[in-house]
Amino acid sequence: MKRFVLCILFSICVALLMANPQAEAFVGGDADASGFVDIDDIVYIIQHVFAGFTAPDPYLAGDADCSWFVDIDDIVYLINYVFSDGPAPCVHDQASGSMVGHSECKPYIPAGSKIDHLSNEDCIDYSFSAGVLSFRHVNGAFNCCPASIGGAVYVGEDLIVVVESETYDPYPCPCLCLFDVDYQIVNLPPGQYTVRIEGLNLPESQYLETVVDLITTPAGSYCVERTTYPWVQ
């Protein structure tokens, strides 16, 4: 019953994300979110860059030149636009994500081996640069001989959800196997996100989830220990 309720709640969450799955495109110059690009935005960015005032929200709303940073160049860009009829601020496209590849079935790696991740670990490795978030689900559990492995990526305002899937041709093998699955999200504003992977063959009501701050920590790894097949050999 508990698992059924959790599945219903997760289905509602994914449905809401799919109704508006990606962050909308926005102009990278409206730092104060007034709906206009004017001298107030110049003042806002000056205060942020030189006096440590609150960053624009979303952060890239202050990125007028699409450099993926909010800095003095954006101040100069906006001064030129507002007072000298310079080029308009750029538009940041909406974020979108997809699965980009996966490994073959991995061999069992015993405890004590000198590698990044052991077979009893389920991990998210990630790196972020210039609006591109690349992350890997390390040791995802799938059937030993799937016809295909899939992963749908949904991007919300501060939530990234991956729903993994598999198909068989014609029947599944009587075993499970570990795979590494790679994902990528482009046009993602830097900020803090909850990354949740809804994998297959997990213990009841369990999923892999962590919070990442792509401004302060643009690369990292998060792991949990798994105690069920196929992680225990």
Query: Where do the domains of the chain lie?
Result: 26-92, 95-225
Tokens for 51, please give them: 């006096």
Locus of tokens 């059937």: 143
pLDDT at residue 213, rounded to an integer? 96
User: Cβ-count burial of 104 within 10 angstroms (0-12 exposed, 13-18 middle, 19+ buried)?
Assistant: exposed
Sheet holding 159-167, edge to edge: 148-155, 159-167, 192-198, 208-213
Mean pLDDT per block of 10 residues along the chain (233 residues) reads: 43 45 70 92 94 83 87 95 93 88 84 70 93 94 92 88 89 90 93 91 76 95 85 58
Contact 121, 223 (CB under 8 A): yes
Tokens for 6, please give them: 């959790």
pLDDT at residue 63, rounded to an integer? 92
Distance CA 194, CA 126 (A): 13
Looking at the domain 26-92, which fold is it? Answer: Type 1 dockerin domain (1.10.1330)
Burial 59-98 (b: 16+ CB within 10 A, else e): bbbbbbbbebebeeebbebbeebbeeeeeebbebeebebe
Torsion of CA 34, 38, 44, 46, to 10 degrees: 160
pLDDT at residue 56, rounded to an integer? 87
Contact 57, 45 (CB under 8 A): no
Locus of tokens 């993994």: 164
pLDDT at residue 225, rounded to an integer? 85
Distance CA 20, CA 118 (A): 37
pLDDT at residue 169, rounded to an integer? 85
**Quick check: pTM over 0.75?**
no
**53: how many CB neighbours lie within 10 A of its CB?**
12
pLDDT at residue 88, rounded to an integer? 93
Phi, psi of 186 (to 5 degrees): -110, 160
pLDDT at residue 17, rounded to an integer? 45
pLDDT at residue 193, rounded to an integer? 95
Locus of tokens 């799937």: 146
pLDDT at residue 125, rounded to an integer? 97
